[in-house]
Each structure stands twice: as structure tokens, then as C-alpha cells.
Amino acid sequence: MQHEPVSDRPCLWPLQCLVEHIRLLRERGHYTIAVHRSDSAKRAMPPWTTVEADADVVCSLRQRLCDVYPVGAIDVVVVGIFHQVNKQSDSVP
């Protein structure tokens, strides 16, 4: 099993931790959804990783998650950027 390389740049550590969470959750059989809010990104997962989420969702900055993904079946949310908690929680009933 190959793991993502660990960066010496501390600014990437939180993102690498989220990618590792997705890898571990998928390994244990969970369905994972990567979500990124951006008006320019094409994917939610960073380009440097080989880890894939089951669903890769990009919301524009004017959208909520429920605008682009059926949120009714989501039971757990892990948020990596704390200022997005309120924005994403508006999407979950």
C-alpha cells in the first residue's frame, strides 16, 4: 500500500491529513465525498494526490452543498477549513 508523501511545508499538513482521512475511510468501506468551494477549481481533491474520493464535488462560492449534491444521505461531515463550517452546515437538514 502506497501512502501520500509527507510535505515539509506545514501549510499543507491539514490538507494532507484530510486526504489521508479520505483514504482510510474508503479503505474501511465508507463512501466519501470531497467538497471544495471555488469559482476556479475543476476538482475538490488536490492535484498532487493519487487518493480519490467516491464523489468529487466543487461548489461555486455562491452555492451551498445542497445546490449541487443530494445531502440527505450524508451522516458525517469532516471540515478542514473552519470558516466553511457555517457555510456547509447551512446545506445539511
What confidence score (pLDDT) does residue 77 get?
A: 77
Asked whether residue 72 is assigned to any structural domain, the reply reads yes
Residues of the domain holding 35: 31-89
Confidence at 43, pLDDT banded by 50, 70, 90 = very high
Asked whether residue 68 is assigned to any structural domain, the reply reads yes
14: nearest Cα among 76, 80, 79 = 80
Cα–Cα distance measured from residue 73 to residue 71, given in angstroms and rounded to the nearest whole number: 6
Query: Is the pLDDT confidence value at 7 over 70?
Result: no
Give the model confidence (pLDDT) of 49-80 as tens digits: 999 999 999 999 999 888 999 988 887 777 77
Round the average pLDDT of the chain to a whole number and report it.
Answer: 79
Asked whether residue 23 is assigned to any structural domain, the reply reads no
> In sequence order, which ranges of 1-93 are alpha helices (DSSP H)?
13-27, 65-68, 85-89
Asked whether residue 79 is assigned to any structural domain, the reply reads yes
42: nearest Cα among 30, 27, 65, 58 = 58
What confidence score (pLDDT) does residue 14 get?
A: 75
Asked whether residue 16 is assigned to any structural domain, the reply reads no
| Total domain count, the chain | 1
Asked if residues 54 and 32 have their Cβ atoms less than 8 Å apart, the reply is: yes
Asked whether residue 22 is assigned to any structural domain, the reply reads no
Asked whether residue 17 is assigned to any structural domain, the reply reads no
pTM for the model stands at 0.70
Asked whether residue 63 is assigned to any structural domain, the reply reads yes
75: helix, coil or strand? coil
